[in-house]
Structure 1
Amino acid sequence: MYYPRALPRRRQLNGITFECLERGEGPPLLYLHASEGLDPDEAVIARLAENFRVIAPAHPGFGLSELPRTTRTVDDLAYFYLDLIDAEGWDDLTVVGSSFGGWLALEIATKYAHRIGRLVLDNPLGLRFAERADRDFIDLFQLPPPDWSRHFLAGAPEDERDWSAEPEDVALRAARNREAFTRFGWAPYLHSPALKARLHRAAMPALVLWGEEDAVASRGYAEAVARVLPQARFQAIAGAGHYAFHDQPEAVARAVADFALTPQAAAQAKA
């Protein structure tokens, strides 16, 4: 896994100070990061920035972004992004969410469908399809954090870094990222019980990506996400695990560009 470091810019929104990364030029793309936080050198950001103006905040509670006391759920986090969309004046926005960020993207899309032109979900969490006694995801919180790399990344070894030897700001960001992911994902486990019933509101064109070596969620889960969205299609990414954006950044960025920038996609988004 990567080493979380300082993002180049801090911003304020409704009294909340948050870290934010901005790259590239072109139509706006809001990138919602996964549970490990946001790496300013993440290759997928650079690839996306070749075609889009990418805005990638560190979610409230992640990195060094402030966490308001009233923000307790992923649904609460979505309202931070509704305010950001309003503040930026975005319309016909492309939203890309990876893993935990995909869950957050779904919450946003059910509330602000009229402002979002296209939605890309890269190995999203957030929904439940399994029977009561079964799971849609492996139980990450029963695994020691060094084991997480092997489940998030294709072919990755156990993460054996010595955090006591890391710079203080790096260790602090990593700790806050893990704490925030646990806070928002612990119970109910990695899903919002009310979300599935709201998905009819997310009627914009959508693309669901799934890494073929994902050890967190199955292909069946990802295909089910695509089926319950009104206008979604499914695409597998070869050589990628749950963090497809990290394993195959070029393939993910290419899938986003092909989906969001083709004349057919543009026409469909404006229809």
Structure 2
Amino acid sequence: MSELELTLTEAGAGQPVLVLHGGAGPGSVANLVEHFAADSHVLAPTHPGWEDTPRPEWFTGVDSLAVTYLDLLEDRDLSEVLVIGSSFGGWVAAEMAVRDRGQRIGRLVLMGAIGPEIPGHTVRVPGGGGGGGAPQGRGPSPAALATMRAYAGTSMNDPKLLRRLARVRTPALLVWGEQDQVVSPEFGRAYAAALPNSRFEVIAGAGHIPTREAPEAALAVIDGFLGR
């Protein structure tokens, strides 16, 4: 952590919540931060390289982000942390859960998450790459896409992740938009099936970021999972 300048937004007080944005940047999860800040202590980092934040040349790979955020939880001595990851941020959250030897994570919410290699499914990144652009708008900027590839590579997946998820016992909720054109609900079902203690929910009429496109329905599902 001392060698990396981390941009971190904090809001609210209470149980800790870590919100991890996807390729579209911090603005795409702003309503999640606002929602949980009402009764929780929300930490919302900007992944290095997004929004003109510095990313050292050596800082590559999704594992670098996962370890950095686990270090953040350890440095703050946070436990029973709710980790919510959207899209690319969901991949980071999943990699955190795989590596959470200190059992810092209490609950996991993955929303339209990418990460594992699932046969027959490709990631269709808006703006190009990963098998074709997805016509859903408000996707990553060209600069964000370049940064995401520095972490995720051109394949946008990790062929080892699906098997590693079998060891994750953290209660998990996977939330998918019915009309997600980046990663299909079938991809999400396979993702959820790899996690031993998971639930899978589809949000009718929503696309890749359900909390932005159908916020009332998506947030109600997440709150129900958490017993809020």
* Partner Cα separation in structure 2 for residue 176 and residue 87 of structure 1: 30
Q: State the partner residue of 2:118.
A: 129
CA distance 1:190–1:39, shift in 2 (3 Å): same
List gaps (5 residues or longer) in structure 2: none
Task: Indicate the SS of the match to 1:39.
Answer: helix
* Partner Cα separation in structure 2 for residue 41 and residue 125 of structure 1: 16
List gaps (5 residues or longer) in structure 1: 1-12, 154-158, 160-172, 263-271
Amino acid across the alignment from 2:109 = V
Between the two proteins, what is the percent identity of the paired residues?
33
Query: Does the 8 A contact of 1:51 with 1:257 survive in 2?
Result: no
Shift of 1:234: 0.4
Q: State the partner residue of 1:247.
A: 213
Q: State the partner residue of 1:257.
A: 223
1:137-186 CA distance string (max 9 Å, x none): 2265646xxx65x3367xxxxx9xxxxxxxxxxxxx95542321132233
* Partner Cα separation in structure 2 for residue 73 and residue 196 of structure 1: 17
The counterpart of 2:42, out of the listed 45, 50, 54, is 54
Q: State the partner residue of 2:147.
A: 180
Shift of 1:36: 1.4
1:117-155 CA distance string (max 9 Å, x none): 10000010001121xxx4332265646xxx65x3367xx
CA distance 1:139–1:124, shift in 2 (3 Å): closer
Q: Which has the higher contact order (CA 8 A, sep 6+)?
A: 1
* Partner Cα separation in structure 2 for residue 39 and residue 71 of structure 1: 23
* Partner Cα separation in structure 1 for residue 136 and residue 181 of structure 2: 5
Q: State the partner residue of 1:167.
A: none
The counterpart of 1:116, out of the listed 105, 109, 118, is 105
CA distance 1:28–1:70, shift in 2 (3 Å): same
* Partner Cα separation in structure 1 for residue 171 and residue 43 of structure 2: 20
Task: Indicate the SS of the match to 2:113.
Answer: coil
Shift of 1:44: 2.5
TM-score (norm 2): 0.88
Of stretches 106-115 and 250-259 in structure 1, the one that deviates more from structure 2 is 250-259
Q: Which structure has the greater CA radius of gyration?
A: 1
Query: Does the 8 A contact of 1:47 with 1:249 survive in 2?
Result: no
TM-score (norm 1): 0.75
How big is the alpha-carbon RMSD for the aligned residues of Structure 1 and Structure 2? 2.4
Q: State the partner residue of 1:18.
A: 6
